[in-house]
């Protein structure tokens, strides 16, 4: 077979470092190339990506192809994808084309077999937490791609149900394929712990949140719960409160509002913003935390929870369907709408080391079940099911 994969989410000049769909695409391609030397692969990149960044994908059965017309996109936004994009894809005579994110739109004029991955449906589940223009655009693109795809990959069973509910996609057309877990999270990188903590201004015990700082991640309630935790500790007459809340990740929509909230809650000295954390520092950032917390209002999958599990970090997560499905009882669930419940869960983890360690062990056992080779094998089976 001749398999095309849209890899533009990896190292995209417009989006910066690979996160979310970019990470999924990178790991999927890497493991497909490890397990499959029989089929041919055509990987489509943005033409501005540096040559040295794609050398790692060089294999005898791989062709690197660049979208050569990106410069004209701002002048021809509709025609770019339809006419020029179609011509680029048709020229490769593919047996199947995989778009690893529904936002990487396949041109309507393209007539070949297609597979599309859906990693979330945030624009339907919590639309109020997206800018209006983005919400409307993503709904429109999702509908187009759902109709266009011959097969759809959903990242979880809960997402498969959402695809049926919001886009009326049949169960036969959709296959659930869990993402794998990067093996580096099970390892101990050679990073100076003290230097890393000093770099970010972490000088106490800390509770870790990792993700894009935006409303859907429920940051405001997390801050309120942390403030309650601190105030309850003070009113209880205990010793000095010795915890920081570390918010690690890129700033997203409305993130600047959190600075005022922090000031109003009297937490200016208790909150640490790290910004985007580079790869080698992620594992020690997890390992040195007291525990991880993810009180999201919506997730399509929840990879960060698995990363915490792999690093032996106990976790608190929202009791939303996707996180309950992925964590499989390995994390302490909380109602994300309840500030009191979030605060009480943090208090329980702080006060009871044995309780914390129970979840540490549960999570680690679950993390080992998520394997990128299995993800690649199941994805390859979907490609081969479309063989003419």
Residue 336 and residue 310 share a domain: yes
* Domain containing residue 252: 183-367
Residue 353 and residue 230 share a domain: yes
Residue 199 and residue 160 share a domain: no
- Please tell me the total count of domains within the chain: 2
Residue 206 and residue 137 share a domain: no
- The first and second tokens of residue 181, run together, are 């877990």
Task: Please write the tens of the pLDDT for every residue from 76-115.
Answer: 555 666 777 888 899 999 999 999 999 888 988 899 999 9
Residue 266 and residue 175 share a domain: no
Residue 128 and residue 222 share a domain: no
Q: Report yes or no: 200 and 193 within 8 Å, Cβ to Cβ.
A: no
d(CA 177, CA 153): 6
Residue 77 and residue 144 share a domain: yes
CA-based nearest residue to 224, from 269, 273, 261: 261
d(CA 17, CA 13): 8
Residue 294 and residue 189 share a domain: yes
The pTM assigned to this predicted structure is 0.91
Residue 274 and residue 154 share a domain: no
d(CA 107, CA 81): 6
What CATH number did the domain enclosing 87 receive? Answer: 3.40.50.2000
Residue 300 and residue 381 share a domain: no
- The first and second tokens of residue 360, run together, are 């540490």
pLDDT at 132 over 70: yes
Task: Please write the tens of the pLDDT for every residue from 182-205.
Answer: 999 999 888 888 999 999 999 999
- The first and second tokens of residue 148, run together, are 């266009």
Residue 159 and residue 28 share a domain: yes
pLDDT at 37 over 70: yes
pLDDT at 383 over 80: yes
Residue 268 and residue 190 share a domain: yes
């Amino acid at each position: 077979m001749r398999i095309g994969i849209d890899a533009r989410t990896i190292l995209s000049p417009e989006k910066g470092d690979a996160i979310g769909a970019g990470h999924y695409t990178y790991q999927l391609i890497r493991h497909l190339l490890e397990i499959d030397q029989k089929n041919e692969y055509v990987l489509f990149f943005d033409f501005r990506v540096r040559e040295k960044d794609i050398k790692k994908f060089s294999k005898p059965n791989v062709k690197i192809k660049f979208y050569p017309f990106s410069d004209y996109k701002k002048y021809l936004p509709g025609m770019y994808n339809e006419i020029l994009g179609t011509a680029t894809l048709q020229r490769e005579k593919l047996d199947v084309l995989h778009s690893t994110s529904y936002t990487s739109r396949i041109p309507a004029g393209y007539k070949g077999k297609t597979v599309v991955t859906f990693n979330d449906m945030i624009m339907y589940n919590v639309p109020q937490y997206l800018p209006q223009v983005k919400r409307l655009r993503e709904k429109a693109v999702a509908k187009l791609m759902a109709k266009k795809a011959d097969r759809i990959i959903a990242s979880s069973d809960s997402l498969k149900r959402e695809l049926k509910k919001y886009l009326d996609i049949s169960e036969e057309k959709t296959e659930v394929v869990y993402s794998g877990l990067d093996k580096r999270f099970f390892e101990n990188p050679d990073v100076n712990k003290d230097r890393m903590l000093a770099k970010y201004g972490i000088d106490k015990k800390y509770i870790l949140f990792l993700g894009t700082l935006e409303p859907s991640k429920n940051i405001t309630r997390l801050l309120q719960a942390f403030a309650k935790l601190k105030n309850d500790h003070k009113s209880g007459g205990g010793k000095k409160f010795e915890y920081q809340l570390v918010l690690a990740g890129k700033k997203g929509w409305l993130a600047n509002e959190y600075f005022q909230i922090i000031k109003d809650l009297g937490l200016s000295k208790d909150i640490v913003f790290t910004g985007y954390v580079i790869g080698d520092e992620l594992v020690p950032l997890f390992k040195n935390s007291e525990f991880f917390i993810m009180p999201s209002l919506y997730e399509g999958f929840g990879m960060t929870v698995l990363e915490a599990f792999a690093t032996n970090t106990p976790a608190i997560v929202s009791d939303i369907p996707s996180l309950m499905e992925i964590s499989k009882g390995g994390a302490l669930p909380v109602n994300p709408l309840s500030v009191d419940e979030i605060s009480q869960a943090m208090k329980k983890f702080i006060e009871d080391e044995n309780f914390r360690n129970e979840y540490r062990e549960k999570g680690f056992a679950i993390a080992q079940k998520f394997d990128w080779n299995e993800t690649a094998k199941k994805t390859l089976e979907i490609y081969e099911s479309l063989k003419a």
